[in-house]
Amino acid sequence: MIRHWFIRRPVAGFSAGCLAAVILHAAGSHLSVPFTLALLLAIVYSLLVRPEPGAYIGNAMIGGTIGIVIWAVSLPLTAGRNRALDAGLMRDNFGSLIGWVFFGLLFGFFLQVFHQIVFRVWGGEVEPATVPTTPIRIVILGGGFAGMRTAERLEALLKKKDDVTITLVSDTNSLLFTPMLAEVAGGSLEPSHIGAPLRGSLKRTVVVRARATGLGSELKEISLLAGGGMVHNLRYDYLVIAMGSVSNFLGLEQVEKVAFNFRTLVDAVRIQNHVIQKLELADKEPNPEVRRQMLRFVVAGGIAV
C-alpha cells in the first residue's frame, strides 16, 4: 500500500512527465535537450507541492510556467560555447519554447490525474506522526533587575519555541531603578521618574501582579496573593527566584525598631514625608535646643565609594 507522500508523489511526477513527453514525441515535437532535466524538475515539483483535489487547471498553468523555465535554462546548454545568449538565440529557438510550454501543460494536467487515481486506489497520504508536546512553564519570582533581565534573556533564547510560556510574578507593575531612590526621598525626582512598566519591555512574558506566599516543591506549585485578598496557585516546570534581599541590621535591635527601611519606592516616599513633617514642626518650634533635636537625622549603614 503506497500511502507515504515521499513515495507516491515522485512516482506520480515521473509518470506524468514520461506520458507528456511520449505524447509530444508522437505529435512530432523535437525538443533540443534531453528529457532528463524535465523529468528531474517534474519529480522535484511533485515533492514540493502538496496535491489539491480537482486542481487540473491550476496544475496545468503551473506546469506551463515550468516549461518556460526549462526552455530558458536549456538555451545556454544547447547554444554551445561560442554562442551568446541574446535575442537572436531566443528567436531561433522559439519553436522549442512552444514545445516546452505544451510539455509543461500536459505534465501539470497528467500529474493531477495521477494524484486523483492514487488517492482513489490507496486513499490519502500518511502524515508523519507528531508527538503532542506539553507546554513548558517557566515562572520567575521577582520583578527587579535580576527577574527582568532573566525574562528578557529567556525571550531572546526561546523566541522560536512556541511550547514555552514565561510568567513573571511581581508585587508591582514597574521595574524600580533603586540607585535613584535617594533622589525620590530628597524630592528632586518624582516616584514615576524611576520606574519603567514591566509589560512595556517584555513582549512575550506574562506579568502577574501578586505576592508569593507559599511554595510547594513536590507539586511544583506557588501560592499567590493578588489584589483584593484573592489567593490562587500557579504551576511551573522551572522556577527562577529573583526576589532580591532584605535589610540587614547586623543584629542592632534598637536600630531595627526605630529605623526606616530604604529599599522600595514606598520607603522613599515615607522618608520624604517624614523629613518634610519634621521640617514643618521645627519651623514652628521656638526653643533652639528642641529645634536642633528635631532636625537631627541619622543614617545607619552605607557603602564607601
- DSSP track, 182-210: HHHHHTSS-GGGGEEEHHHH-SSPEEEE-
223 has pLDDT over 70: yes
Using pLDDT thresholds of 50, 70 and 90, give the confidence band for residue 33. Answer: very low
168 has pLDDT over 90: yes
* pLDDT (0 to 100) of residue 83: 59
- Tell whether the torsion through CA atoms of 254, 256, 261 and 266 is positive or negative: negative
Which stretch of DSSP H or E encloses residue 280? helix 265-284
* pLDDT (0 to 100) of residue 152: 93
* CA 187 to chain CA mean position, Å: 42
Burial of 169 (0-12, 13-18, 19+ CB in 10 A): buried
Lowest mean pLDDT among 78-82, 137-141, 231-235: 78-82
Length of the chain: 305
Average pLDDT across the chain, whole number:
80
Return the percentage of the chain with pLDDT > 70, whole number.
82
293 has pLDDT over 70: yes
Task: Identify any residues that bridge with 43 across adjacent strands, giving them in sequence order.
Answer: none
Strand duo 136-141 + 238-241: pairing: parallel
282 has pLDDT over 60: yes
* pLDDT (0 to 100) of residue 84: 60
Cα 116 to Cα 121: distance, rounded to the nearest angstrom:
9
86: how many CB neighbours lie within 10 A of its CB?
A: 9
More confident residue, 29 or 21: 21
Cα 180 to Cα 183: distance, rounded to the nearest angstrom:
5
Q: What is the DSSP string of 86-150?
A: SHHHHHHTHHHHHHHHHHHHHHHHHHHHHHHHHHHHH-SPBPPP----PPEEEEEE--SHHHHHH
163 has pLDDT over 80: yes
* pLDDT (0 to 100) of residue 172: 84
What grid cell was written down for 53?
483535489
Angle 20-22-24 from CA coordinates, rounded to 5°: 70
What pLDDT, in 10s, does the model give residues 51-92? Answer: 777 777 887 888 778 777 777 777 766 665 555 666 776 777
Using pLDDT thresholds of 50, 70 and 90, give the confidence band for residue 238. Answer: very high
* pLDDT (0 to 100) of residue 241: 92
34 has pLDDT over 60: no
* pLDDT (0 to 100) of residue 232: 86
What grid cell was written down for 200?
512595556
What pLDDT, in 10s, does the model give residues 182-201? Answer: 888 888 888 888 888 888 88
Q: HSE-up of 1 (CA within 13 Å, CB side)? A: 9
11 has pLDDT over 80: no
What grid cell was written down for 157?
533564547
Amino acid in the structure at residue 45: Y
273 has pLDDT over 50: yes
173 has pLDDT over 50: yes
Cα 3 to Cα 6: distance, rounded to the nearest angstrom:
9
> What is the chain's Cα-based Rg?
38
Return the percentage of the chain with pLDDT > 90, whole number.
19
- Tell whether the torsion through CA atoms of 268, 273, 277 and 280 is positive or negative: positive
Please enumerate, as own/partner, the contacts of 250-257 that have beta carbons within 8 Å and a separation of 24 or more. Answer: 252/300, 255/300
Task: Identify any residues that bridge with 136 across adjacent strands, giving them in sequence order.
Answer: 164
What pLDDT, in 10s, does the model give residues 89-102? Answer: 677 777 777 777 88
Q: Are 259 and 240 in contact (CB under 8 A)?
A: no
